[in-house]
Amino acid sequence: MISEREPPSVASTIKRLRKSRHLSLETLAQMSGVSRSMLSQIERDATNPTVATLWRITTALGVSIGEALGTQPHGADLDVVPGHALPLIGSADGLLTLRVLGPMSTAGSHEWYELSADPKGRLDSKPHAPGTSEHIFVTAGTLTVTSGDTERVVKAGELVRYNADVPHTIRNTGSKPASAWLTVLHA
């Protein structure tokens, strides 16, 4: 059962599934395309994987993302997910977080997140697959978004759309916390 105070941790599940299949970290890295170093960090619960990374790992292990998160589909037409059960992804600096809002079944096609960034919070992203775009609607504060060589300041109430198949960065360059809705559309 998931604690009401903690988001689900995939660390022990990924490690258990890997070991039950008698796979080394190196073998799973080759199967999934996720580096051995990243897999080790995930299994030690030193980092939370992105949805795309978790999708690669679970696909290689032959399980659903829901199984890795410890959720079970129940067939309900109406499903309420408590806030504490929504996975969080943090930036390297710890000042920016993404709360995963979309169902895991859409990872790799479209994803959506609640974004929160403290001042100086920054998320640097490598290029996604060709044709991928991101859309950010800022609900509070100001964010600076860079896509390739283009940079724009986006204020509360504004929407920015940009190519995410090039290096891109989201930063809170303001003096107050910022929040936004982020949607990722994979080609």
> Does 74 reside within a domain?
no
Residue 64 sits in the same domain as residue 93: no
> Does 80 reside within a domain?
no
What is the H or E stretch that residue 39 is in? helix 36-43
> Residue 121 is part of a domain; what is its CATH number?
2.60.120.10
Q: How many Cα atoms within 13 Å fall on the side-chain side of residue 137?
A: 7
> Residue 47 is part of a domain; what is its CATH number?
1.10.260.40
Tell me which residue range forms the domain holding 153: 86-185
> Does 2 reside within a domain?
no
> Does 142 reside within a domain?
yes
- What's the longest Cα–Cα distance across the chain? 51
Residue 137 sits in the same domain as residue 48: no
Residue 116 sits in the same domain as residue 57: no
**Amino acid (one-letter) located at 158:** E
> Does 159 reside within a domain?
yes
Q: Last residue of a domain, which of 39, 69, 99?
A: 69
Residue 53 sits in the same domain as residue 106: no
pLDDT tens-digit readout, 19-64: 888 888 998 898 889 999 999 998 898 887 888 888 888 888 877 7
Burial class of 68 by CB neighbour count within 10 A (0 to 12, 13 to 18, 19+): buried
Pairwise pLDDT comparison (28 vs 137), residue with the higher score: 137
Alpha-carbon distance 15 to 47, whole Å?
Answer: 14
**Lookup result for tokens 């009401």:** 4
Residue 176 sits in the same domain as residue 108: yes
pTM of full prediction above 0.75? no
> Does 64 reside within a domain?
yes
- In this predicted structure, the answer to whether residue 100 has a pLDDT above a threshold of 60 is yes
Split into its structural domains, the chain has a count of: 2
Residue 96 sits in the same domain as residue 40: no
CA distance readout (Å), 87 to 48, 77, 92, 160, 174 = 9, 22, 16, 24, 26
Residue 30 sits in the same domain as residue 111: no
> Does 78 reside within a domain?
no
> Does 61 reside within a domain?
yes
Structure tokens of 23? 């796979």
Specify the pLDDT at position 137: 98
pLDDT band at 117 (very low <50, low <70, confident <90, very high): very high
Residue 139 sits in the same domain as residue 57: no
Contact between 33 and 56 under an 8 Å Cβ cutoff? The reply is yes
Residue 63 sits in the same domain as residue 96: no
Alpha-carbon distance 50 to 177, whole Å?
Answer: 23
Residue 166 sits in the same domain as residue 116: yes
